[in-house]
Structure 1
Amino acid sequence: MSIEGNKEIARRLYEEVVNYGKAELLETFVADDSDDTTRQHAGWSIGRAGFREHLEWLRSAVPDVHTTVTDLVAEDDRVVVYWRIEGTHQGELFGAAATGKPIDATSISLITFRDGQIVNYTVLPDRLTILRQVGAVAAA
């Protein structure tokens, strides 16, 4: 798969899978032996099932989630995605119980591909901004 092809899958992961809940696309986009390193330490499944659990968790915490990819940088088999997340905090998120408050923050993801499928995913969300927005952490 080309660098541009990997970037397109990365973009579609956010625009179609996260925004519209099209979990069936994970069968195409994610290798069965993939690793979502963001969630593995939380006791979630590995492989494609872990991606599905991550998606379900996010969409239950923020049911009206909307992501916007603001930049993609790629080299070889890796794509770095800069993205914005917006929505309403309706379920447990980073240890904070639902508040009904809006969230608006940025994240950076590193996605590694093999043969046109995601084999590793790591996201670094701006948790502090989100936790401040929902009142779980006091503003400085």
Structure 2
Amino acid sequence: MSLDEMKAFVRQHFEDFVNRKQSQVALDNFSEDFVDHDEPSGEAVGPLAAKEMMEAVYQRWPDLHVTVEDCIAEGDKVMVRNTWRGTESSTGQKIEFHGFVLWRFADRKIVERWATITPPRIEA
């Protein structure tokens, strides 16, 4: 994939996986040996685990929306700076947090992810 193709892929991934609540895209976008380095185990989790995790997120923050603020690509990686906003389903509290996500690609699939987020800002 070219750098521009990888950036477009990541932007579309966020749009579908988060904003449109299409959890099934995990099955297409993540490799079978996908590793999320910020999961507690830091081991291979695969696309099904990513799909199930996101479905739990949809339940907790049904209006969760991510905005890609910046997107930079080099080599086989894409780095994104983003803003997340949503409302906690059980409390009605609005949250906002910012993050950086680094994705590594191989064979047109996401194979690794690293993420750093700010503590959420909670509105009353």
Q: Identity over the aligned pairs, expressed in percent?
A: 27
TM-score by length of 1: 0.79
CA distance in 2, matches of 1:86, 1:115: 32
Tell me the residue number matched to 1:65.
Answer: 64
TM-score by length of 2: 0.88
Tell me the residue number matched to 1:103.
Answer: 95
Secondary structure of 2:41 counterpart? helix
Tell me the residue number matched to 2:12.
Answer: 12
Secondary structure of 1:41 counterpart? coil
CA distance in 2, matches of 1:45, 1:117: 14
Q: Which AA in structure 2 matches 1:80?
A: M
Deviation of 1:125 after TM superposition, in Å, equals: 1.6
CA distance in 1, matches of 2:59, 2:32: 24
* Most deviating of 7-16 and 31-40: 31-40
Matched-pair contact (CA < 8 Å) for 2:33–2:44: no
Matched, 1:124 2:116: yes
Structure (1 or 2) with the greater strand fraction: 2
Change (3 A) 1:24 1:34: same
Deviations 1:33-85 (A, max 9, x none): 1112222439x971112211231232122111011111101101110011111
Q: Which AA in structure 1 matches 2:115?
A: V
Listed as ranges, the matches of 1:19-98 within 5 Å are 19-41=19-41, 46-90=45-89, 98=90
Query: Moved runs in structure 1, 4+ residues, more than 6 A?
Result: none
Structure (1 or 2) with the greater helix fraction: 1
Deviation of 1:134 after TM superposition, in Å, equals: 5.9
Matched-pair contact (CA < 8 Å) for 1:67–1:85: yes
Secondary structure of 2:71 counterpart? strand
CA distance in 1, matches of 2:101, 2:8: 14
Over the aligned positions, Cα root-mean-square deviation in angstroms equals: 2.1
Deviation of 1:119 after TM superposition, in Å, equals: 0.2
Secondary structure of 1:6 counterpart? helix
CA distance in 1, matches of 2:123, 2:53: 20
Q: How many residues align?
A: 124
